[in-house]
Structure 1
């Protein structure tokens, strides 16, 4: 467990750096572009290469590639694993390049159509510029997955850092100094995306070369490659449903108003911080272990590691969701309200952030549960449940977007992810009774009590600050926000930790060890 916590600590620590840089990037883009149609067009355009990235790189391919590579490594040697990597990367580069060429041609043609004038034409033009990012990031995903199988988590966790640094440098450096128009600055931001994608590909590739990999083109359709393709087929459809879900939501938001897509994006990004820092870090580290246990047919160890991952995810994400919902207003003002991002934008973003926070624990559970199915080489079940989630989200979004605006879109996605999380867990229990959630209910009840205690303190403190009991005067808004974020969050953490200790929550003994790992100490 100590080694697992160390790996989780490494991934979490680097993810913190990545999310902080991502937040700086978002703050910069919000200050420069606000919630303008130009910013919404960029967000909509960038969603499409990200959709295909999930399809061809980080989603279905990784799900099929990791357990197959794990088996190849156990049955053969590193040379066999590297040979399989060359075959997979060769086919992936070919397919991704074809998709990029077709996509750029299609959107270049679409941008010239008269019925796609204004902001829609702008979104199409930016899509053409951003589409080559797909090739870089797909190859990066294959390299990072291979490093994870070799239990090298640092380099893959560094990947999003390169993207954020490149985008910040391009917009905050060259864009603000050399571009005189908003569109000119946007082109610099797009250049940062492409440079960041190139770094995401090159850095883990060089690490693999140091480990003994020798890259070469190999289009051999070996038995392992065919197995990966067979496993990818249903998984590709499942990931497509989820990613199309996101893309359709952003298109719907783009159609609601010029501001909706940007506001929806920033609200979602704030919820990704706690999810990415811990939930995705846990899932990233646990997944190769689950794949290893499945390959060795160790159902007991599989269930034990899954349960530990689930407990750790809930332990962090439940209080994070509650705190984010309660302090959405001061957090938004402190982080974004400057430059072109004004009070009216804050007023639009706050309720969306609170709604997104409700879905955080369900999203985190879904991430781990889906990877458990992939480790078992069952890619069909997540597909079916993702399809149900898509229908629920699309139906609710269309029904609620007119009366509720962007809030209706968030509400639809929150309900859909909640249903998907419950159904995935039920299906896992049917597949392996050892994975039943029932033994965790006692611990979850204690977690809820601890979260309620924390929420009472944080919510009461924010109410007192707004009432002027602690910092008085209407002109003290900024001071109140600093006190709320800088004071109530640490206080909430202390109350939550104390409540967990008093309630004797299972797994509490792992927290000091995790803290030591995060600080870089060793047992």
Structure 2
């Protein structure tokens, strides 16, 4: 594999991911305009958080099926691959149906024990139980989506899985634009189920084009199936911890003030804007590449690709995190300041966002490291450390939210994510000794210096605009646009001046593809 293949592939996938993120911004803006930071928003965000815990099932399936199916692609015929995929699909569906049934049956008790503040208002409580029951139907489609998306990625087909979010967000936007006033929160819950169904179904044509087709296969004794589920259980536990941390923080927030859960969720979404566009694309692509190196027993290329991926993540995440902190109020205003979401909500989200931003970098690097462990068929290490992360987050949240309100919850998440990422990095070096830490640290230093210089420039540019221009949507949009353009050019120039390899590579592509025309 060429050294910069990860960067090339990431750029292609990012187009689809960016489209999905733009539509997600429109979705969230419409949602907050319709519901604001009210109890209705709290109910939906909390119920979605419960159901989203089960995304770990789909993620676990897609993650574990990739290295196993990669071996099948190298060694076995399509018939055998199809048999294995169908067996995984059917058993996963059976398990998911059971989970969905239990979830619907015990929705009352889930709300009672984990959102007990709602018990003070019978109408809110009953509405939350109703919404949760509807949204539990999404779990089946999350599982199916995990299987088919994993198969596509094992075949190095990334574009359709990357487009899933865009398709789902389009469904949300249609509902919020045309039907929300008629069908309200209940209709929004049904729309959520439909959105997850669409995420699954758009993968099917490409899945069939690769030669796969559905047949009823049900063999619990299959050795590869046992291997998959043995690998998957730790992955489910480790990947669910991010959602579990959010769920825990949302549950703490439910006891603060009306709209606190919505404020926390809004801060989380703004923080993860760049992470979900870029880091997810890189981790999606690096995983099958690392899996191939493990199959080939090529540990040197494995370590080089790992370091290259971490450098790429830091190249984008570090300046993005700093820029979002500096431009947080204009950014939140442009995204959400309309309808029932007012200027006081902007300030609340802005306060929470400051302490949340370090998670962008930590999550990005952590995702790469998790995928690296999974590709080496080590699923226990990420699981153990993720559990430690939950313990840290719960302990800190229980203390900090009493004194710092929602910002205390965001700070606990940042500390937990950063500590676990460092632990994973040290453990990876023990597993594969000889990782080039010193060059990687030097790259981080260069990126940090360039980011700080850029940060000073855009901070003073923002101040100049605020002093000299009338406030409002146009001002905020202008601030974001000008600061983004000037900041990006300055940052790119500085990283080129500092001779960061990844920037040099991007410049070489630009010269060869654009300047020669």
Band the TM-score falls in, shorter-chain normalisation: over 0.9
CA separation in 2, counterparts of 1:402 and 1:209?
A: 53
Correspondent of 2:166 among 156, 161, 164: 161
The answer to whether structure 1 residue 145 and structure 2 residue 147 are counterparts is no
Alignment of 1:255-266 (within 5 A): 255-266=255-266
2: CA distance between counterparts of 1:359 and 1:240?
16
Q: Report the CA distance shift for 1:514/1:215 in structure 2 as closer, same or farther (over 3 A).
A: farther
Tell me the equivalent position of 1:57.
Answer: 58
Q: Could you give the per-residue CA deviations for residues 44-95 of structure 1, whole angstroms, max 9, x where no partner exists?
A: 00111110121x111x323322111111221212332222111111111111
* Structure 1 match to 2:209: 210
User: Alpha-carbon deviation of 1:3?
Assistant: 4.8
Shift in Å, 1:189: 1.6
Deviation (angstroms), 1:437: 2.6
CA contact (8 A) 1:393 1:416 kept: yes
- Which residue is equivalent to 1:14? 16
Change in CA separation of 1:87 and 1:403 when aligned onto 2, cut-off 3 Å? same
Conserved? CA contact 1:140–1:205, under 8 Å: no
CA–CA separation in structure 1 for the residues paired with 2:191 and 2:298: 45
> CA separation of 1:520/1:292 partners in 2, compared to 1, >3 Å: closer, same or farther?
farther
Give me the whole-angstrom Cα distance separating, in 1, the residues matched to 2:74 and 2:311.
Answer: 29
Equivalent pair of 1:169/1:192 in contact (CA under 8 Å): no
Separation of aligned partners in 1, 2:8 and 2:436: 27
Q: Structure 1: where are the runs of 5+ without partners?
A: none
Instruction: Decide which moves more: 218-227 or 350-359.
Output: 350-359
The 10-residue stretch of structure 1 (1-10 or 380-389) with the greater mean CA deviation from structure 2: 1-10
Q: Show the 5 A alignment for 1:379-394.
A: 379-394=379-394
Confirm or deny: 8 A CA contact 2:172 2:192 kept in the other structure: yes
Counterparts in 2 of 1:147 and 1:418: CA distance versus 1, 3 Å:
same
- Worse overlay, 137-146 or 349-358: 349-358
What's the counterpart of residue 339 of structure 1? 339
**Structure 2 match to 1:396:** 396
Instruction: Report the secondary structure of 1:476's partner residue.
Output: coil
Structure 1, residues 226-265: CA drift from partner, whole Å, max 9, x if none? 1011112322332343332221111111222221111111
Partner residue of 2:364?
Answer: 364
Give the match for residue 297 of structure 1. Answer: 297
Cα offset, 1:361, TM superposition:
0.6
Distance in structure 1 (CA, Å) of the matches to 2:19 and 2:511: 18
- The gaps in structure 2 that reach 5 residues or longer are none
Match of 1:499 among 494, 506, 517: 494
Aligned-pair CA distance for 1:33: 0.3
Between the aligned partners of 1:109 and 1:381, the Cα distance in structure 2 is: 33
Q: 2:30 aligns with which of 28, 31, 48?
A: 28
Alignment of 1:171-320 (within 5 A): 171-176=176-181, 179=182, 184-221=183-220, 222-320=222-320
Kept in 1: contact 2:496–2:504 (CA 8 A)? no
Aligned-partner SS, 2:367: helix
Quote how far apart the aligned CAs of 1:118 are.
4.6
Deviation at 1:205, TM superposition (A): 1.9
Q: Are residues 1:487 and 2:482 paired?
A: yes
Any conservation in 2 of the 1:238–1:386 contact (CA below 8 Å)? yes
CA distance in structure 1 between the partners assigned to 2:97 and 2:514 by the alignment: 41
Contact 2:32–2:340 under 8 Å retained in 1: yes
The CA distance in 1 between the partners of 2:511 and 2:413, in whole Å, is 37
Correspondence list, 1:319-468, <5 A: 319-466=319-466, 468=467
Contact 2:321 2:361 in 1 (8 A): yes
Quote how far apart the aligned CAs of 1:323 are.
0.4
Distance in 2 (CA, whole Å) between partners of 1:338 and 1:510 is 41
Mapped partners of 2:263, 2:250: distance in 1: 10
SS, match of residue 503 in structure 2: coil
How many matched pairs?
A: 509
CA distance, structure 1, for counterparts of residue 352 and residue 196 of structure 2: 30
Structure 1 residue 511: deviation in Å?
Answer: 1.7
Contact kept? 1:107, 1:124, Cα under 8 Å: yes
Q: Deviations for 1:441-466, whole angstroms, at most 9, x for unmatched residues? A: 11111111110110110111122233
RMSD: 2.2
Distance 1:485 1:298, change over 3 A: same
**In structure 2, the residue corresponding to 1:69 is in which secondary structure?**
helix
Cα distance change of structure 1 residues 308 and 346 upon mapping to structure 2, 3 Å threshold:
same
Which string of whole-angstrom CA distances, capped at 9 and with x for unpartnered residues, describes residues 323-365 of structure 1?
A: 0000001111111111000011011001212222122111110
